[in-house]
């Protein structure tokens, strides 16, 4: 097939954790992929460059180093069949320290991407939202039909805003907008500031791990390959014009259980450094994934232990030997 006849998808934040896995999947299936990423030094840029470098020789892959706030740069991107908007300032705790920049990037940046879709007549737009939008919600598992959202961090509020802006553009301009609420994604290439990555490295290196609270908080840990399958489902979806969909594993694991599982997979005991609970953190995340299954056939099939084993292999092979 002529390269120009292949469907062309733009992934913002595509040099990062989830985006690079999505790029792998799309390229393998014959798509053209353009990645827009500003290589933000929120975590070591070299890790993102490694993600990008593996595709540099692929004629169907284009890397654009730039920012979603740069409207002139966005105006130069053409011939798109779909946009997967993953780029954002990430993290609940950092957003409390710097709420203004989170709103600037996550809200204005999302509007800029929707403006690009409107101007270039891109009809399929997939937006990375977050389980954090549910805030402290006692109705578990969390369902998309629960519209009483009470986010408790600027990061979460920025993601709610993105969902609402998307509805406006979908209604006015005929853009199919699918917001995917990701639940605690883990796996190879995970950001080093996230708990599983940080804990595993510290255990291997004999360092203590910071544990906030008493270990009873629970998360719906979702393996990255399952998240990618959900994104692919959203890209292919041709039903209604606006949907909000949970992507989780459909099961919860406590912080204490997570640490025990990492210890088992790595074969070393953790040194625990107890810390107080952090503002903005929620006690539980729990996804009802019925809707994702109905719309996309989404079915997560990676167990938590298998995901951890895959992560350990990547960590040892790709990170520790270079540290």
**239 pLDDT exceeds 80?**
yes
Q: Exposed, middle or buried: residue 201 (CB in 10 Å: 0-12, 13-18, 19+)?
A: middle
Known catalytic residue: 155? Answer: yes
- Residue 212 is predicted with a pLDDT of 87
**DSSP conformation letters of 216-278:** --EE--EEHHHHHHHHHHHHH--S-SEEEEEE--S--EEHHHHHHHHHHHHTS--EEEEEPPP
The pLDDT of 34-49, averaged and rounded, is 93
Confidence of residue 213 (pLDDT cuts 50, 70, 90): confident
Give the tokens for residue 126.
Answer: 């997939």
Q: What is the pLDDT of residue 148?
A: 61
Sort strands 176-182 and 82-85 into parallel, antiparallel or unpaired.
unpaired
What's the average model confidence in pLDDT over 266-294? Answer: 89
Sign (positive or negative) of CA dihedral 112, 117, 123, 128:
negative
- Token pair 């919860």 is at which residue? 252
Q: Which single residue is written with the structure tokens 């891109």?
A: 122
Task: Decide if 152 contacts 110 (C-beta within 8 A).
Answer: no
Spatial distance between the Cα atoms of 80 and 196, rounded to a whole number of angstroms: 35
Compute the average pLDDT of residues 312-322.
76
Model confidence at 269: pLDDT above 60: yes
What is the rounded CA–CA span in Å between residue 87 and residue 192?
17
User: What tokens were used for 81?
Assistant: 């069949």
pLDDT at 307: 97
pLDDT at residue 246 is higher than 60: yes
User: What's the whole-number mean pLDDT along residues 28-44?
Assistant: 94
From the list 155, 169, 221, 298, the catalytic residue is 155
User: 318: pLDDT confidence band, cut at 50, 70 and 90?
Assistant: confident
State phi, psi for 197 to the nearest 5 degrees. Answer: -65, -50
| Structure confidence at residue 1 (pLDDT) | 35
CB 15 within 8 A of CB 48: yes
Of residues 172 and 192, more confidence is placed in 172
Spatial distance between the Cα atoms of 257 and 51, rounded to a whole number of angstroms: 30
pLDDT of residue 4: 66
pLDDT for position 2 = 40
In this prediction, residue 281 has a pLDDT band, given cuts at 50, 70 and 90, of confident
Question: Mean per-residue pLDDT for 282-309?
Answer: 95
Give the pLDDT score at 122: 97
Q: What tokens does 48 get?
A: 């993102």
Whole-angstrom distance, CA of residue 265 vs CA of residue 183: 22
User: Can you give the residue ranges of every domain in the chain?
Assistant: 3-322
Average pLDDT, the chain: 93
Structure tokens at 205: 């290196």
pLDDT tens-place string over residues 90-140: 988 899 999 999 999 999 999 999 999 999 999 999 999 999 999 888 888
Maximum distance among all Cα pairs of the chain, rounded to whole angstroms: 57
Residue 220 confidence (pLDDT): 97
Judge contact between 229 and 195, C-beta under 8 A. no
- State the distance between the two ends of the chain, measured CA to CA, in whole angstroms: 42
Question: Which CATH number is 3-322's, of 3.40.33.10, 3.40.50.720, 3.40.50.850, 3.40.190.10?
Answer: 3.40.50.720
Span of 8-17, 23-32, 137-146, 165-174 with lowest mean pLDDT: 137-146
**Nearest alpha carbon to residue 151 among 87, 69, 96:** 96
């Amino acid at each position: 097939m002529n390269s120009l006849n292949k469907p062309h998808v733009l992934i913002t934040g595509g040099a990062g954790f989830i985006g690079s896995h999505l790029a792998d999947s799309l390229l393998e299936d014959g798509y053209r992929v353009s990645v827009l990423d500003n290589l933000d030094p929120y975590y070591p840029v070299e890790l993102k460059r490694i993600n990008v470098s593996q595709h540099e020789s692929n004629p169907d892959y284009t890397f654009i180093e730039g920012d979603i706030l740069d409207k002139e740069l966005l105006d130069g991107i053409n011939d798109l069949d779909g946009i997967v908007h993953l780029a954002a300032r990430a993290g609940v705790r950092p957003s409390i320290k710097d709420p203004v920049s989170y709103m600037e990037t996550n809200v204005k940046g999302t509007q800029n991407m929707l403006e690009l879709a409107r101007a270039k007549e891109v009809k399929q737009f997939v937006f990375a939202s977050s389980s954090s939008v549910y805030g402290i919600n006692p109705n578990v598992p969390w369902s998309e039909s629960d519209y009483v959202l009470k986010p408790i961090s600027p990061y979460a509020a920025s993601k709610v805003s993105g969902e609402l802006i998307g509805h406006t553009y979908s209604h006015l301009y005929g853009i199919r907008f699918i917001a995917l609420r990701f639940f605690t994604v883990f796996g190879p290439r995970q950001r080093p500031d996230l708990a599983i990555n940080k804990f595993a490295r510290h255990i291997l290196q004999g360092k203590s791990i910071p544990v906030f609270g008493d270990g009873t908080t629970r998360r719906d840990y979702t393996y990255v390959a399952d998240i990618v399958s959900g994104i692919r489902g959203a890209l292919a979806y041709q039903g209604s014009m606006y949907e909000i969909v949970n992507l989780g594993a459909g099961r919860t694991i406590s912080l204490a259980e997570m640490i025990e599982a990492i210890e088992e997979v790595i074969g070393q005991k953790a040194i625990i450094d107890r810390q107080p609970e952090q503002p903005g953190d929620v006690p539980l995340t729990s996804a009802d994934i019925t809707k994702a299954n109905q719309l996309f056939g989404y079915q997560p099939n990676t167990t938590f232990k298998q995901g951890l084993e895959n992560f350990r292999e990547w960590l040892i092979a790709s990170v520790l030997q270079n540290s």
